[in-house]
Structure formats: C-alpha cells, structure tokens
Amino acid sequence: MDIEEEPTDMFQDNAPQQFNDHADPSVNYGINKRSFLAEIPGFDVTKCLPYDILHCIFEGCAEYLCRLLLKDLCTRPKPPPQDPSQPKKRKRKQEKPKMTLKQVNHIIQEASDFGHLGVSKPSPIEKSHLKTKLKQSASQMIVLVHFLPIIAFGKIASEKLELLGQLIKIISLVMKFEATEEDANNLECTVQAFGQNFVNCYPDFKTLKLHSLKHLKMQIFLHGPLRQQACFRFEAMHRLFTRLVDIINNMKNIEFSLACRHLSERHVDILNGKHDGTFLYPGDIVRKSPSVKLKTLPEKNIVLQTFPELDEEVEVAFVNRFETHGRIWHKDVVFSLQNTQAGSDHIFGIIVKMYFIGNEMVFVFNKLKVNFLENFCAYEVTGRDNNILACLRLSSLKLQYPILKFTVQLGTNRTRSFLVCGSSGTLS
C-alpha cells in the first residue's frame, strides 16, 4: 500500500518565501546538515524514528490553531480595504470583538469545571500570547482545544469551528489505546480535509507541523498506536529535573547532582518495593466503610436482580473513593456503557454509589441523556434518568476509565455539561 504520495497543494508546501518563520533554513526546518543516520544502510530517518504527537499536535498544530481562533474571537476585525478609485467614505465605528480576553479567562478560571483534568486547567491568556505563543503545557492544550468550541460556538465563522472540530477528531484518533486499519484510514481522510480547510481559512499563515500530520497514518502502520511513542512522561521527567535545580542549588556539575539525586530516590523505591512487592505498582487505593450484609442495603433488589448468584448474607462495603492504575472513581463520575448493553453506542452512566462485594467493585448508576455533537466529537448532557437505577461490575466495562466531563456556567441559571474524549482517545 502506497501511503506516502504527497499532494503539492496541501499545507502550503509551495508557499512564498515571506511565509517562512525565519530567513535561516536551520531555524525554519530544524536541520543544520545531513544526518549521519541517513548513511546507515536500510535506515530511513523519516520512518524508523517515530513521531511525537505531543510536540507535533498539542504544542504544534493545536496551539497554532487555538491562537488564531482566539485572535478572531478577541480582537477587532480589520476593516475591508477601501477602493482608491471610489470617493472616501466616512469612517465607521470599529466593530467590537465578539469576546474579550477577560471574559474568556473568567469562563476558564472561574465558571468552569474540568472534571478529572482540573489540575490541567489552562493558564490565563494574555494579549501578548496571541502574537507569539500560548503559554500552555501539552496537558493544558488538551483541555483548551476541547473547551474552545464551547465558548466560541456562534461567535466565529462556522468553517473555522469546523476546522477545530476536525482537529479534535484527529486528536481522538491519535490518542487511542488501540489503533485499527480503519482508524488509520479515517485519520488520513480527516488530515487531508483539515489541511485543505486550514489553507482556505488562513491562506496567509503557515506552520511546518501541519505538513507532518500527513505522515501519521504511516507511523501507525510502522509503530502502532501513536500515544505509545508520545513524550508526555519524558516531559514530566524534564519538569521534575527543572524543579530540582532550584532545590539542589548547586551549579557545580549540575548534571551529576541531578543524576545522583534521581538514582538515590529510585534506589530507595526499589529497596522498599522488594519487601512488599509494590515497586512496579503500589496497589489499588480503596476508601470504604465497615462491611455490612447485602440484605441491609437499600439497593438490595437491584444488586440481586443483576447478580442472582450472590447470597443475601454476603459481606458488602460502601466505597467513597476507588483508585486503580491512576484512574479515580467516585460519586458523579461518568463512564461509557459500550458493549455492556444492546444498542449502547451512545449510552453513558453516572455513578450514584459504589460497593465492594467480594473482590469486585460494583457501580450503582443512572443513565445520562445525551445529544451527540458530531462536529466536535462530543456529547452534550441534556439530563439524567433519576427514576431508574442499575448496577454493573467495573470489570465488565470495556472502557475502564472515567469519561471527561466539562461543566460550563455561561450565564445566570444557564449551565451546560459536555462529555469529551480528552486524553482517553475515545468516548464510545
């Protein structure tokens, strides 16, 4: 299969020289000379080294597009050029921007709940950032790129919102834990449409990272799911070392000091983990109440109807919080019911209570009423069925991770909630 044919009209590869970021080619392309790796027989630098979607997408294309959209949203539109052959007209009042940066920052910082990605809430956006670069980390960009359609809907051109929706679809495909050939083909089609629409919407802007999106399909076939080669954990380690510099406060051979500090910490973890077997994984964290009999629970009938093999005398513990492999479950967490019920493609549950029965975690939940927003790869929550309770085991879920839920207060008594893929890669 030939997947490396490059169209000449995509991503402005043949754009004029004035669109280049810098006069020096090494700054534009990041290449100073021919790599020594290119001399290795049978080694192709463009195929044998995997792409990093963190820098390619979240700190590249996503940052670039969000910055352009925020410019359109928060700056005054330029007046159309006046024809010199026509008599001068009276100056019209300049149009006001659709929103101000102050309003955008207020919604992000004070009027929104970002669920389990609240620790990655985007930083305040300043006017100078719109001219240079948004000062956001990769995890903050994940939140911002999914949140921007909510506040920009109806305020900027529909074709630009569609462009953002195509980028979100690309993100949902590259962040999947498992990738199929169908996913790779969908990614190729979406990237092609995204590149053409970007050129149509922003003909005067160029970034080389847009071109690199075209090779993502090839990377999936060569290296598997793209999130496995992402640099998220390497960047986290880099941030750890950066913070250690101020703590050590020793600039004499700082590399040796950082290495010693890091290796000493890992050595202690290994020694402690050898005794109780918790070095690789410390175990699940369960906050639960004392055990009681199943027959005393108010949800006894629902549990027995779902799991008839259980006895009324079995021990049950109410759980407030359950953490396993970094995934945290508690009341009001949303999960997908894909492949657990017939026709459950667009069905989600929200936890009401959690019980520990035997060695299994059991959720008592309500179903959510949702409306699918195809352009943004998201679901808007329209309500919940409080009258019907159901239960299931955590182990029966195909997608065993919480679904990211954004709640936004857009005005007095006007709150909207959305389910987005975030960093999980898929919703259903």
Q: Which tens digit of pLDDT belongs to each residue from 259-311? A: 888 888 888 878 877 666 677 777 788 888 899 999 999 999 999 999 989 88
Domain-embedded: residue 426: no
- Average pLDDT value for residue range 324-338: 89
d(CA 424, CA 278): 26
Considering the domain architecture, whether residues 115 and 243 belong to the same structural domain is answered as no
- The answer to whether residues 63 and 210 belong to one domain is yes
Query: pLDDT digits over 76-111, tens only?
Result: 777 666 666 666 666 666 678 888 999 999 999 999
Give the confidence band of 323 by pLDDT, cuts at 50, 70, 90: very high
Which amino acid appears at position 364 of this protein? V
Does 168 lie in the same domain as 105?
A: yes
Residue 170 sits in the same domain as residue 292:
no
| 15-40: pLDDT as tens digits | 444 444 455 666 666 677 788 888 89
Nearest Cα residue to 217 out of 180, 167, 269, 261: 180
pLDDT of residue 209: 74
Provide the 3-class DSSP secondary structure of residue 306.
helix
418, containing H or E segment: strand 414-420
User: What is the domain extent for residue 241?
Assistant: 237-262
Model pTM?
A: 0.82
**In this structure, are 184 and 246 located in the same domain?**
no
242, 316: one domain: no
Confirm whether 85 is domain-assigned: no
Asked whether residue 206 is assigned to any structural domain, the reply reads yes
124 lies in the same domain as 257: no
Last residue of a domain, one of 185, 214, 230: 230
CB 280 within 8 A of CB 266: no
pLDDT of the residue at 355? 94
- On whether residue 278 sits in a domain, the answer given is no
Count of structural domains, the chain: 3
Distance, CA of 222 to chain centre: 23
